[in-house]
Amino acid sequence: MLLKAESKAEHAAAHENIDDRTDFDVVRQRTLKNAMSCTGVGLHGGQPVTMNLKPADANTGIVFRRTDVSGEDAIVPARWDHVVDTRLCTVLGNKSGVTIGTVEHLMAALAGCGIDNAEIEVDGPEVPIMDGSSEPFVFLIECAGVVEMAAPRRVIRIHKDVQITVGDSEASLKPGECLDLSVEIDFDSKAVARQELSVGLMNGSFRKELASARTFGFLHEVEQLRAAGLAKGGSLENAIVVSGDEILNEDGLRFDDEFVRHKMLDAVGDLYLAGAPIIGCFTGARSGHAANNALLRALFADDKAWSYDVMRGEEIQRAVDGGLHAESEMAIDAA
């Protein structure tokens, strides 16, 4: 912490010869304190799934492990360059063809709670859909507890505008002070229509504004998917279903604009596949998983558009922690 009376130069001098562990003026990496598991169904396969969230070492990032696959083939890193399908959800894969689907709502929860490192064990090809939002995953992270590690958090700073168009979807990243998201959707149905929302991802905002917004689908699409042998696990328990201008869920919506909030939640999850938190402004118009991944590919194709950095000084207040307090690993080491 930078004391007001201490000038920046004095502060830097005082800390010059001190290693990371005693430099309190930097945002550090976080992982889970304990392992925590949950069970659910896969949205598309409809099969039962057990998922186990586990702590991981500093600089590991988020890594999936298929427990039904043996050896190195079981490992699928949660990174943009491992995205193999974006049509119905975001699917990751490795060079052996082992895949893990519907990762976006879990990735959003990890991003929104400021979890830098975790190993995610799943016993099949899909992350469980739970209630169609990120809230059950945030609850799981909260139950596991959070630990702050010695290593500083690595962030991706945006230096220039990057934009992409995929069909009628548009998405862009611009320089900014935190991950500031602006999303706009426009659907034919009166139940959804045009919605727009801007949220800055900071302390606790993910949890309050986005985590509980559920995925949604239109009845005619759900019927087509079912006919194609997909969406087998989909129900009114894990999605908002819209038929014409009506919402079929008896209890209605969790937010008046739940649809655009969910689109933003998806963007938070998909953007976390950058491999580190992005510090910049995201805008999406009618965007989805395909546009989000195309945007990351365009970003990483241009070395001048971004760089790695750490967050220090006043920026610490804009770090994402989901409102979840972290115990210090250093304090645990010292005890």
Binding site for Zn ion (CB under 5 A): 215, 266
What is the token pair recorded at 130?
């739970």
Q: Provide the residue type at 267 as one letter.
A: A
For Zn ion, the closer CB: 205 or 215: 215
For Zn ion, the closer CB: 117 or 215: 215
For Zn ion, the closer CB: 49 or 326: 49
Look at residues 218, 264, 210 and name the one whose alpha carbon lies nearest to residue 240.
218
For the CB of residue 201, give the shortest distance to Zn ion in the complex, in Å: 16
HSE of 31 in the Cβ direction (CA atoms, 13 Å)?
23
The neighbouring-strand residues paired with 282 are: 173, 181
Look at residues 133, 285, 106, 277 and name the one whose alpha carbon lies nearest to residue 197.
285
For Zn ion, the closer CB: 26 or 248: 248
For the CB of residue 282, give the shortest distance to Zn ion in the complex, in Å: 16
User: Is position 289 annotated as part of the catalytic site?
Assistant: yes
| Cα end-to-end span (Å), the chain | 22
> Coil, helix or strand for 32?
strand
For Zn ion, the closer CB: 58 or 107: 107
For the CB of residue 216, give the shortest distance to Zn ion in the complex, in Å: 8
Rounded Cα distance, 208 and 205, in Å:
5
CB 303 within 8 A of CB 125: no
For the CB of residue 151, give the shortest distance to Zn ion in the complex, in Å: 31
CB 123 within 8 A of CB 145: no
For the CB of residue 215, give the shortest distance to Zn ion in the complex, in Å: 4
For the CB of residue 309, give the shortest distance to Zn ion in the complex, in Å: 29
Q: Catalytic residue among 15, 82, 289, 325, which?
A: 289
State the DSSP string of 233-292.
Answer: T--TTTSEEEETTEE--TT--SSTTHHHHHHHHHHHHHHGGGSS-EESEEEEES--HHHH
For Zn ion, the closer CB: 2 or 88: 88
CB 151 within 8 A of CB 20: yes
Q: Which residues of 240-251 are buried (b: 16+ CB within 10 A; e: fewer)?
A: bbbeeeebebee
Q: Give the orientation angle of helix 258-271 with respect to helix 289-300, to 10 degrees.
A: 30
Catalytically active residues are 289
